[in-house]
């Protein structure tokens, strides 16, 4: 919720910055180059940030550079602070790239997946940046993570990536590529389960023999959500399971249909992130991930007209409202594995879980995110 901001004090010999930094070393080197200082002459005070999710991890440190240029130009050893307006932040930011997926899959006579062909088209967030060295053989792994390495036992699997060149500045977004790959994989799994005439949970479990941690969170989420207990008319459940940042999360979304569309009433989550160092923090991060992912799945979108961002503030770029937040239950799998990430893995499963619930209730598959661009219909 917090726009970009930074404070700096420069006396000609040293510089000190206060900001919610994510790539402190890059910020330090960038500021030093502008101010004519060695990196060790630049001090970065890392503050708590009121939201960031990757936005403050930028290769050119542009907002820190902006403050450094102002401090150098002003030439007096007094603190200078810059704060972007909301309009600056939304219209002049870096955006999650648009991706298009096409998946073809085949079932045998017994309803088993025998082939999966997956094509991804979208803009790389690494090509053209100092991080381009991470691109191997022309493949930006952040474009296909969560799909190229999905856990399901499929005998004939093919995937290809086509990285487009678009003039829109792009950057990572909370859970990076998993935001779109999880949606495609997990909604496709429900489509295949329906075509095979099988329960979505059982269909997945049959393909996860070699991935017990995926299966473990899936079973736990289904159990805690009373998956096999029928719901009243007008309500439905959907499920999704996904691994990101070496943590495993399954979520069951429960929705209620009405004349205006749908409302997500409950999300039951199971998480395996290794040793639970701080259970309260794990629960808070997963809850926050659900809210973050759900808000963007439902309506938040950036559009451009003739290269200009249409949105400018929270009146036309609507965030998640507190009255829209479902009840969220978080169940932690006991583990002796090394602890892993929890800040991002709660995001990817929520959109496909909700989409699968809508499909269960209406028979309509939402192919586009956010859902506001689809014709959902009411009860």
3-state secondary structure of 185: helix
Chain mean pLDDT for the chain:
95
How far is CA 13 from its chain centroid?
A: 41
What is the rounded average pLDDT of the residues 242-247? Answer: 98
SS3 per residue for 278-333:
CHHHHHHHHHHHHHHHHHHHHCCCCCEECCEECCCCCCCCCCCCHHHCCEEEEEEC
Whether domain 5-84 has CATH 3.30.365.10? yes
Portions of the chain given CATH number 3.30.365.10: 5-84, 99-373
Distance, CA of 191 to CA of 228 (rounded, Å): 19
User: 241 and 358 in contact (C-beta within 8 Å)?
Assistant: no
Instruction: Return the pLDDT at 214.
Output: 98
Q: Which residues pair with 267 in a beta bridge?
A: 253, 328
User: 349 and 249 in contact (C-beta within 8 Å)?
Assistant: yes
Distance, CA of 343 to CA of 244 (rounded, Å): 10
Peptide bond connecting 370 to the previous residue in cis, omega within 30 degrees of 0: yes
CA-to-CA separations, 162 to 132, 139, 144, 368, in angstroms, rounded: 16, 8, 10, 19
Using DSSP bridges, classify how beta strands 42-46 and 15-19 pair: parallel, antiparallel or unpaired: parallel
What is the rounded average pLDDT of the residues 273-280? Answer: 98
Q: Is the pLDDT of residue 375 over 90?
A: no
Q: Is the pLDDT of residue 260 over 80?
A: no
Predicted TM-score (pTM) of this structure: 0.94
Q: What percent of the residues of the chain are helix, what percent strand, and what percent coil, each to the nearest 5?
A: 30, 25, 45
pLDDT in tens, 116-158: 999 999 999 999 888 899 999 999 999 999 999 999 999 999 9
pLDDT in tens, 332-367: 999 999 999 999 999 999 999 999 999 999 999 999
Q: Is the pLDDT of residue 192 over 70?
A: yes
CATH fold of 99-373 reads Aldehyde Oxidoreductase; domain 4 (3.30.365)
Distance, CA of 36 to CA of 110 (rounded, Å): 69
3-state secondary structure of 266: strand
Instruction: Return the pLDDT at 379.
Output: 45
């Amino acid at each position: 919720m917090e726009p970009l901001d930074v404070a700096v004090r420069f006396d000609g010999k040293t510089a000190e910055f206060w900001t919610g930094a994510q790539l402190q070393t890059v910020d330090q080197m960038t500021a030093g180059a502008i101010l004519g200082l060695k990196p060790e002459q630049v001090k970065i005070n890392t503050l708590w940030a009121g939201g960031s999710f990757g936005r403050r991890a930028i290769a050119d440190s542009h907002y820190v550079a902006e403050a450094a240029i102002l401090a150098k130009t002003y030439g007096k050893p007094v603190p200078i602070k810059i704060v972007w307006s909301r309009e600056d932040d939304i219209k002049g930011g870096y955006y999650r790239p648009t991706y298009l997926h096409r998946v073809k899959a085949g079932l045998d006579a017994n309803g088993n997946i025998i082939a999966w062909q997956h094509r991804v088209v979208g803009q790389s967030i690494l090509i053209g940046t100092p991080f381009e060295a991470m691109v191997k053989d022309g493949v930006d792994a952040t474009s296909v993570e969560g799909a190229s390495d999905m856990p399901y036992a499929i005998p004939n699997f093919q995937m290809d990536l086509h990285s487009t060149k678009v003039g829109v500045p792009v950057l990572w977004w909370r859970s990076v590529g998993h935001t779109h790959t999880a949606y495609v994989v997990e909604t496709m799994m429900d489509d295949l389960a329906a075509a095979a005439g099988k329960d979505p949970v059982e269909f997945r479990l049959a393909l996860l023999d070699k991935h017990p941690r995926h299966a473990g969170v899936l079973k736990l989420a289904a159990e805690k959500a009373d998956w096999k207990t029928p719901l009243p008319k007008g309500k439905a459940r959907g499920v999704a399971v996904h691994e990101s940042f070496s943590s495993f999360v399954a979520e069951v979304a429960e929705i209620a249909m009405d004349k205006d569309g749908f409302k997500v009433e409950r999300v039951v989550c199971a998480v395996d992130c290794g040793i639970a160092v701080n259970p309260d923090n794990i629960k808070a991060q997963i809850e926050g991930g659900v809210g973050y992912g759900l808000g963007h799945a439902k309506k938040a979108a950036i559009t451009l007209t003739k290269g200009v961002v249409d949105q400018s503030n929270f009146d036309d770029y609507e965030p998640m409202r507190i009255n829209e937040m479902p009840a969220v239950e978080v169940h932690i799998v006991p583990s002796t594995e090394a602890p892993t990430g929890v800040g991002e893995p709660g995001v990817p499963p929520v959109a496909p879980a909700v989409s699968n619930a809508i499909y269960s209730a209406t028979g309509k598959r939402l192919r586009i995110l956010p859902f506001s661009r689809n014709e959902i219909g009411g009860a």
